Every structure is written in C-alpha cells, then in structure tokens.
Amino acid sequence: MTTQTATLVPSYVQGAWWTPESSEGATPVRDANTGELLAHVSTAGLDLAGVVDYGRTVGQAGLGRLTLHQRALKLRDLAQYLNAHREELYELSYKTGATRIDSMIDVDGGIGVLFTFSSKGRRELPNSDVIVDGAAEPLSKDGSFIGEHIYTRIPGVAAQINAFNFPVWGMLEKFAPAFVAGVPTIVKPATPTGFLTEAVVRLIVDSGLLPEGSLQLISGSARNLLDVMDYRDLLSFTGSASTANRLKTHPNVIEGGVRLTVETDSLNAAILGPDAVPGTPEFEAFVKAVVTEMTVKAGQKCTAIRRTIVPQELVDDVVAAIGERITQRVVVGDPRAEGVTMGALASLEQLRDVRGAVDAMLAAGGELAYGTLDAPQVRTAHGQQAVVPDGAFMTPVVLTWSDVEAEAVHSREAFGPVTSVLGYTDLSEAIRLAAKGAGSLVATVCTNDGDTARALTVGIAGHHGRVHVLNRETARTSTGHGSPVPHLVHGGPGRAGGGEELGGIRAVKHHMQRTAVQGSPNLLTAITGVWHTGAARNTAGAPEFGGQPGVVHPFRKSLAELRIGDAFASPLRRVTREDIEDFAAKTGDTFYAHTDAAAAEANPFFPGVVAHGYLLVSWAAGLFVEPAPGPVLANYGLENLRFITPVPAGDSIRITLTAKKITPRVTDVYGEVCWDAVIQNQDGDIVATYDVLTLVEKENTTYANWPAGA
Ligand code: NAP
C-alpha cells in the first residue's frame, strides 16, 4: 500500500489517478498524534465537470449492464477483498488519531455495510433493473387500464461529501446503496483524513471488481461541485450545519433540482429513567454507554451523547460514576502505544474547535465537573508520559448545569470527548430537554420500566431519527447508542439535517426515482417483468378454464424455459360435509364455523358450516401440483393469503396458478418463482388469493433422466 509521505494525495477520476501539476497552495495533512506532515491535498485544475460527466456516461453505462442482484453480489466480493486488507488500513488509520477499536468501527463497520447491502439487495430486491412499489391500482372497471409505481435508478451521479470522522465507513455507507441502485459514486472525503479514504479507493480500484466509472474520488476541496450538478444527480452531505446551509442555498439546489440530503451535527441525548438508580444493571449500562460515546473516536461521532439527562437527585451519582469509569479505564495517547484507549482528535484545528466550544459553554453557565482543558500528559508512541504540543490530544470532560434550560447546552456541539449532565424533575421535563436539541440523530432511553420506556420513547421519537432503548436485557447485546446499523435509518430531523442514510433497502431506493406508470396489464407486465392480473397467460390444464392443448404444465419447466404468464388451470373439485368433518377431526381444528351448523349460521360472515381455509389451500395444492420429480425443487412458503368467499359444503373449488415473478439467484443453480394463485368457486367467485413461493432449477438437471440411470 502507498503511504503518502508529504506527497499529494491523488484523486481517482475519469478512470485514472490524478494529481495537480503543482503542490502550490495545497493543504497540508498531518498525523493527528504527532503533527508529522503526511501529505498535501489539492484539487487545483481538476475538471469537476468532466468528473460528473464521466459518472453520468461511463459509470451509468457500466452499472446499467448489471442487474440489482449482480451489483449486490459484487459488493460481497468487494467486502471480502477489503477484509483481506484490513491490517494495512488500521496502520494508516492510527495516523488519524484512531485506536485499533476506533479503526475497527470505521474499517470493519464499513465492510459490514457492504456485506449487509449485498445480502439484503439479493434477498429483498428483484434480479432486474426495475423495482415494483406496491400493488397495482385498478383504474378502469374492466381491468384493462391499471396503474402502479416503479423505481428506476436516477440518471446522474451520487456525489458524497463526507466528514472527517469516519473516512472508511463514511464512504462505504453511502457508496453501498448507491452502487446497488446502479448510480455511480463520486466521493469527496474531508481533508484531514481523506488519505485513508484514498487508500480504500486504491484497494477498490486495484481489485478490478467494479465496473469502470462506478466510483471516483476527489481528494481535496470540491467547493464548486454543485456548480456542475443538476436534477439528475444526488448530493449526500455529511458535516457541519454551517456547510450544509451553504449547500442548501446553492442555486443548483434551489432552482436546478439537485437532490440534496444532509447529515449534520446533532446534540444527541441519553435519558436515564427514574427507576435506574445506582446499583441497578440499567445505571451501570447507562454510565458505560455515556463513557463509550465520549471516548470512542475521542467523541468525534455525530451520534455521541452530548446531553446526559438524568433524574435531578442522581446528577452527582452519575457524574461520579462517569468520572470513576474514565479514571479507571481511559488512557489517552498515541494509539500505537500499548494500552492506549483514546487517541487524538483528528487535527489541531479540531482540537481548537472543541476547546472553543467548551469555553463557550463554560461562559454560558456550564461548570466543569470532571476533566480539564489543560494540555494533557499523554502516552506517547514510545510509551512515555508527556505533553505533545503538536498532537491533538484532549482528556474527557464532563460539564454540569444549574440552568438546564441554558441555550448553549442544547445548541453548542463540542465535537470531542465532552458531555453535559442535566437533571430533570419529571418525565415531561426529560422529554422537553431532549427535544431542545431541535432534531437529533439518536437518543438512548435507559429504563427497565415499560411505562417509562413508552412515555419517553413516544415523547421524543418525533425529534429523533433513532431511539435506542437500553435495559438489563440488552446491556450485553445492544449494538450501542452510537452505532448506526445498515438495516436501520441513520439520520434525523431538524438540526440533524433531515437526511436518511442507510435504512436497508430504503437507502437503495433513495437513489432511485419513483414513477407512476399507467397502462394495460400486458404492457405493465412487459415493462416490469412481473405478471399482472389481466395480462395474457399461457395456460395448461382444464380446457373449460382456459387450458390450451399442447401447453406443458409449468412445473415441468426449468427457469430457462419458464416464462412470466405460464399458468395452470385445474378442474373443479367438490367439497362435501364429510370432507369438512374429516379435516376437522384429523387436524383438531373443530372451530364452530366448521362443525356446528347453528353457531355457524348465527355468524355474520358464514351461510352455515363452511370449509376450513386451510383445507381449501391444501386441496388447491393437490389440484395444481405436477407430482413427478422435475425442476421444481421446493415450496418455501405462501404470501399474502386472503380468504374472500366462504365455501359451504356442496360448493366446488378450482385454482389458477400463474408464474408471476421469476428471480434466478446469481450464486445458485436455482432461483425463486412466485406464482399468483387464485382459488375460485363453481360460479367464478374468488374464494382465496395468495402467492406460492417455489425454488426452481435454472436447468432441468437433477431429475432430467429420472429415475436415475433411466
Ligand atoms: P465540515 O467542515 O462541514 O466538512 C464536511 C465536508 O464538507 C468536508 O468533506 C469538507 O471538505 C466539505 N466542505 C466544506 N465546505 C464545503 C463547501 N463549501 N462545499 C462543498 N464541500 C465543503 O464538517 P467537519 O468539520 O468535517 O465535520 C464535523 C461535523 O460533521 C460535526 O458537526 C458532526 O456532527 C458532523 N457529522 C455528522 C454526521 C451525521 O451523520 N449526521 C456524521 C459525521 C459528522 P474539506 O475537508 O476539504 O473542507
């Protein structure tokens, strides 16, 4: 791996590594622990319009040649590749002030996001380039005109401007959903730690796994990026509220239609319930969470707990317990030294900002309850205790406030190892204090009492993107207050920026346009690749119900032969009272509607004794199945089952089964087929509707010559 010793950190644009011709005016980047000059960054002369255009053309084309599943699978391969290079990244990460654990959160956390989006993408999305959103809406009486929503990828680039605190995870958490969606990424990391992002991009490029143009990197300032973006593009920004506000007012956002989401600063809270007194597992878990959030990444986490809200009578206990835990467990110093648990802030500028924020809070009424703002003695890389003037070190600081309403504590973000402990008198005050953050990413509610958990969670949820409920049952298993997980939304309202990153497949769709499409069932089937009710069928089976001569039962077809709309129509089968009684006796389901005529007749839904719904579904399977060994390997479930018209004894049922969705698995010799199933009675009334889910071989191999040897 290349380490950039006082060289220029290159950008990766338009398919090549690029550095400016001169380093004049370039910004220096230093080791956060020692001040050693590592590199410079500059974008002087970079053709930003060319970068965006390359993404929109080459990137879009390369990604467009792959389906959603193929792209998701590439993320898995990429994650495995990066996994094998983690040690190199940790080594580099030390220079950002990160301890090994911090680096694991950043590096492994980022790789974990790739794995998650890879598996969710293949499990939850179609193997296609179109996602159908919700059910079709009938728009004409005869069903010939219908409407629905589809998602297709946006036609431009996903530009991502990131903060300095998570140079790896910060990139990968945005890149993964953009990539699955099929939208090329342009990543612009923050200057102080962008050299680590560059190392990851270099690995990605070297891996050769991704289509050309799917990832470009801008190392250095990109102040004019928005100038060359338009409505086709998406800009995801993470950083300070002041930069976000500048971006929000850019003419290309206001008038040009660039899609902008921002994740900004956040005065996150943790609330201790009144039941969680010292000695309870909740009190211990709470103190642990607060100290973890203060010290991981030296408190430089957008999710860190800035406001620790506790019952008034417990303020002293909480401050003492936090102080004791820090004293016992936190060793500040160069993360390369043995035993260090908290490294430097990312830069001297950052240190200055945090000290400035704490000074301002002290001036506004905060009192220093633990820690100091003096330059600390820290453990150096050689294991000595010393003050390192060029290292961005700071010890953890706890503030208390006699005026818990003071504006500064609810609005001033000290982006470092700092928290304020605030006392509340009742739950409504705790809720009000948490809400004074004016919109936050996350809050922890720590209680073992259900009513308290509900009151606090519901009370604050409208002000938060995520609420983490902590008690003795989750103390060991929780992923933590400060860790966004790829499955759940990361973002928050108001001051947090209003953005929504992550959140599983939601994040993929965030990079797509939802479009209403109206037309006939046949053409919507052709457009989406999903069979729609009313579209043409190729039906085998009973001629009286549409079966055509010569059409093969669809269960005899492998995925290579099966087509959307291939169907089977069964003949009628009569249901007798004996059948119903027999089913009741054998299953033990003697619910009165199936066994007691008088009681069934008194029921507003039934004409008298009716067949069990499960009897009908079981019989339907018997009616549609093609029993001989063949390409259908398994039935793995039913979805969306609805019983509509009751079936009394004497009625008959039949079923029509139609191949609705075919999803070949990119990693297996089989795929999924979802069958539209409709049970009707002798009059054509719909008795039940559902989807049958099967696994079907891509090629008819296993049972091609069955019995074996035949
Ligand atoms: P920042 O100064 O706003 O910088 C963030 C990013 O914006 C950097 O990449 C920076 O590039 C770039 N940038 C600055 N001015 C720009 C402009 N005019 N046009 C385009 N790009 C511009 O924030 P920071 O100090 O790096 O980050 C700390 C803040 O981020 C904290 O407030 C923290 O709460 C917030 N944060 C939020 C989240 C979240 O998910 N909500 C996550 C992490 C951090 P240069 O470095 O090259 O200037």
Residues 85 and 208 in one domain: yes
Residues 527-538 have pLDDT tens digits of 999 999 999 999
Which of 243, 307, 495 maximizes ligand 1 atoms within 8 Å of its Cβ, making it the mutation to test the pocket? 243
> Cβ(177)–Cβ(489) under 8 Å?
no
Residue nearest (by alpha carbon) to ligand 1 atom 17? 223
Residue 302 CB–ligand 1 contact under 6 Å = yes
Residue 62 lies in a domain: yes
> Cβ(33)–Cβ(389) under 8 Å?
no
Mean pLDDT, rounded, of the chain: 95
Which of 48, 164, 353 maximizes ligand 1 atoms within 8 Å of its Cβ, making it the mutation to test the pocket? 164
Amino acid of residue 240? S
Tell me, what's the pLDDT at 119?
A: 97
Cα of 527 vs centre of ligand 1, distance in Å, is 41
Nearest atom (ligand 1) to Cα of 221: 47
Residue nearest (by alpha carbon) to ligand 1 atom 39? 263
3-state secondary structure 603-622: CCCCCCCECCHHHHHHHHHH
Which residue range is the domain that position 295 belongs to? Answer: 268-479
Strand, coil or helix: what is 583?
helix
> Cβ(366)–Cβ(419) under 8 Å?
no
Which of 51, 187, 261, 302 maximizes ligand 1 atoms within 8 Å of its Cβ, making it the mutation to test the pocket? 302
Residue 264 CB–ligand 1 contact under 6 Å = yes
Residues 259 and 273 in one domain: no
Rounded distance between C-alpha atoms, residue 337 and residue 677, angstroms: 65
Rounded distance between C-alpha atoms, residue 388 and residue 393, angstroms: 8
Residue 498 lies in a domain: no
Location of structure tokens 């260090």: 340
Residue 20 lies in a domain: no
Lowest mean pLDDT among 1-10, 291-300, 490-499, 685-694: 1-10
Rounded distance between C-alpha atoms, residue 96 and residue 200, angstroms: 14
Residues 352 and 462 in one domain: yes
Domain of 163: which CATH number?
Answer: 3.40.605.10
Residue 624 CB–ligand 1 contact under 6 Å = no
Q: Is the pLDDT of residue 586 over 70?
A: yes
Residues 440 and 545 in one domain: no
Tell me, what's the pLDDT at 709?
A: 57
Residues 232 and 293 in one domain: no
Residue 127 CB–ligand 1 contact under 6 Å = no
Domain of 582: which CATH number?
Answer: 3.10.129.10
Residues 395 and 426 in one domain: yes
Cα of 21 vs centre of ligand 1, distance in Å, is 26
Residues 418 and 280 in one domain: yes
Cα of 401 vs centre of ligand 1, distance in Å, is 29
Which residues are CB-contacts of 31 (< 8 A; sequence separation ≥ 6)?
A: 38, 95
Cα of 162 vs centre of ligand 1, distance in Å, is 6
How distant is the alpha carbon of residue 511 from its chain centre? 13
Tell me, what's the pLDDT at 2?
A: 39
Lowest mean pLDDT among 62-66, 241-245, 521-525: 241-245
Residue 525 lies in a domain: no
Which of 238, 249, 483 maximizes ligand 1 atoms within 8 Å of its Cβ, making it the mutation to test the pocket? 238
From the list 148, 173, 198, 263, the catalytic residue is: 263
Tell me, what's the pLDDT at 4?
A: 40
Location of structure tokens 């609330």: 271
Nearest CA among 460, 406, 535 for reference residue 269: 460
Residues 296 and 440 in one domain: yes
The domain tally of the chain equals 3
**Any catalytic annotation for residue 446?**
no
What are 562's strand-pairing partners? none
Cα of 124 vs centre of ligand 1, distance in Å, is 33
Geometric angle at alpha carbon 620, from 615 and 622, rounded to 5°: 100
Cα of 261 vs centre of ligand 1, distance in Å, is 13
Residues 247 and 312 in one domain: no
Tell me what the mean pLDDT of segment 458-462 comes to.
97
Q: pLDDT class for 1, splitting at 50, 70, 90?
A: very low
Nearest atom (ligand 1) to Cα of 413: 32
Residue nearest (by alpha carbon) to ligand 1 atom 22? 223
Tell me what the mean pLDDT of segment 655-681 comes to.
96
Residue 441 CB–ligand 1 contact under 6 Å = yes
Domain of 324: which CATH number?
Answer: 3.40.309.10
Residue 126 lies in a domain: yes
Residues 242 and 293 in one domain: no
Rounded distance between C-alpha atoms, residue 613 and residue 667, angstroms: 37
Tell me, what's the pLDDT at 497?
A: 85
Rounded distance between C-alpha atoms, residue 365 and residue 86, angstroms: 45
Rounded distance between C-alpha atoms, residue 464 and residue 364, angstroms: 26
Residues 209 and 73 in one domain: yes
Residues 369-423 have pLDDT tens digits of 999 999 899 999 888 999 999 999 999 999 999 999 999 999 999 999 999 999 9
Residue 155 lies in a domain: yes
Residue 322, class by beta-carbon neighbours within 10 Å (0-12 exposed, 13-18 middle, 19+ buried)?
buried
Q: Which of 240, 263, 286 is the last residue of a domain?
A: 263
Residue nearest (by alpha carbon) to ligand 1 atom 30? 239
Residue 496 lies in a domain: no
Tell me what the mean pLDDT of segment 174-181 comes to.
98
How distant is the alpha carbon of residue 706 from its chain centre? 45
Amino acid of residue 135? A
Gyration radius (Cα) of the chain, Å:
31
Lowest mean pLDDT among 349-353, 489-493, 622-626: 489-493
State yes or no: cis peptide before 543, omega within 30 of 0: no
Q: Is the pLDDT of residue 6 over 80?
A: no
Cα of 265 vs centre of ligand 1, distance in Å, is 9
Residue 492 lies in a domain: no
Amino acid of residue 328? Q
Residues 257 and 286 in one domain: no
Residues 319-328 have pLDDT tens digits of 999 999 999 9
From the list 173, 293, 302, 697, the catalytic residue is: 302
Q: pLDDT class for 3, splitting at 50, 70, 90?
A: very low
Which residues are CB-contacts of 265 (< 8 A; sequence separation ≥ 6)?
A: 240, 241, 302, 413, 415, 495, 496
Cα of 243 vs centre of ligand 1, distance in Å, is 7
Rounded distance between C-alpha atoms, residue 271 and residue 443, angstroms: 8
Amino acid of residue 544? E
Tell me what the mean pLDDT of segment 159-169 comes to.
96
**Any catalytic annotation for residue 263?**
yes
Tell me, what's the pLDDT at 128?
A: 94
Residue 27 CB–ligand 1 contact under 6 Å = no
Tell me what the mean pLDDT of segment 242-259 comes to.
95
Tell me what the mean pLDDT of segment 174-193 comes to.
97
